[in-house]
Amino acid sequence: MIIKSKYASVGNPPEHGQSKKAWEVPIDTYTKVDPKQYFITTGEAIVKMGVLLKDLANLTKEMRKLQKQMVKTKGDSDYLETCWEDGKLLIKKKDRRIKADPEQEEAS
């Protein structure tokens, strides 16, 4: 039996039973880039730098795609808030709260 996630993955429409205001961002699937890791062993520094720059370019491309998905997900909402739940990164649509007019409250 396949257990469906409580949230759709960002970029995908929610299925029946999934939240329509929150999406999971699979942040752990993105390549992590730590420049120190490219220079642990001896070797040609310029080649290592080329590999690092290529990995950074790929990560930048992936992050721009994620940003576009987030903008699309936000739609007409005022905010797209991030939060963590059970070790998972979520984004949630939020709108401004409508403040009550104090003059109308006194008239009631």
pLDDT tens digits, residue range 52-77? 999 999 999 999 999 999 999 999 99
In a domain, 104, yes or no: no
Position 3 in a domain: no
Q: Decide if 2 is inside a domain.
A: no
**Does 81 fall in a domain?**
yes
* Domains of the chain: total: 1
Model-wide pTM > 0.85: no
pLDDT confidence bin for 5, thresholds 50/70/90: confident
> Residue 40 domain-assigned?
yes
In a domain, 106, yes or no: no
Q: Domain for residue 36, yes or no?
A: yes
pLDDT at 105: 58
Q: Which residues of 73-94 are buried (b: 16+ CB within 10 A; e: fewer)?
A: beeeeeebeeeeeeeeebbbbe
Tell me which residue range forms the domain holding 31: 8-95
Whether 23 is in a domain gets the answer yes
